[in-house]
Amino acid sequence: MPSVLFYLFAAITLLFGVGVVVARNPVASALSLVCSFTGLAALFISLDAYFIGTLQILVYAGAVMVLFLFIIMLLDIKAAEGRQTNYATAVGGLLLAVLFTVQIAMVLGDFKEGNKTLADQTLNLGAAASKTSLNTIKDELAEGTLPDAKLMGFTLFDKYPFQLQVVGLLLLAGTVGVVVLSKRDRGGKEEVS
């Protein structure tokens, strides 16, 4: 990917990320997060992770953020009721973010492996094709395209089939939990004590 596009999408991701934190209105925060996640999806795609990039759009920017917006609208949460910003926590938060970034930057300064560019690490699809057992993947690799979703699916079912089942169990437990936590009984009063 040309450097310009990387900087563009990185800027979108980070600036809208800041927007989530500073926006007073929760709806604005949520929409900022959608934009930030879209930029992030572009970064995923620039890393040849097409499937993850698509998921990021579909699941995060799509489903999850719609859920957030829906709840914000449903509860009719007002913007931060004109309350004064607490400067002590704001400074604390900023300091924490800066410290963490400096820490990461220090590690990166020492991390020589990280100086490789995508051009240094080109995909070797021919080598990948010779190692694959599944014909549909092999053919596409031999043609010189990266069958990202197929390779992803193959790894999931070949290496982590059991974890995939456990995630299913997790989603079930989550669904049951949501029902338990939000059902209302007919004819009863909802009083919290």
Binding positions for another protein, 109-138, rule CB under 8 A: 110-119, 121, 123-128, 130-131
Residues 40-69 that bind another protein (CB under 8 A): 40, 43-44, 47-49, 51-52, 55-56, 59-60, 63-64, 67-68
Which member of 8, 73, 100, 136 binds another protein (CB under 8 A)?
100
As a whole number of angstroms, the distance between CA 67 and CA 122 comes to 39
Which residue, chain included where needed, has tokens 């995060």?
Answer: 60
Q: Are 53 and 41 in contact (CB under 8 A)?
A: yes
Q: For residue 19, how far is the Cα from the chain centroid?
A: 16
Q: Which residues in 18-37 contact another protein (CB under 8 A)?
A: 18, 20-21, 26, 29-30, 33, 36-37
Residue indicated by tokens 């040849």:
48
Number of residues that bind another protein (CB under 8 A): 112
Residue 118 in tokens: 């995508």
Q: Which two tokens stand for residue 158?
A: 């070949």
Q: Does 73 bind another protein (CB under 8 A)?
A: no
Residues 145-184 that bind another protein (CB under 8 A): 146, 151-152, 154-156, 159-163, 166-167, 169-178, 180-182, 184
Is 98 an interacting residue with respect to another protein (CB under 8 A)? yes
CA atoms of 34 and 50, how far apart (whole Å): 18
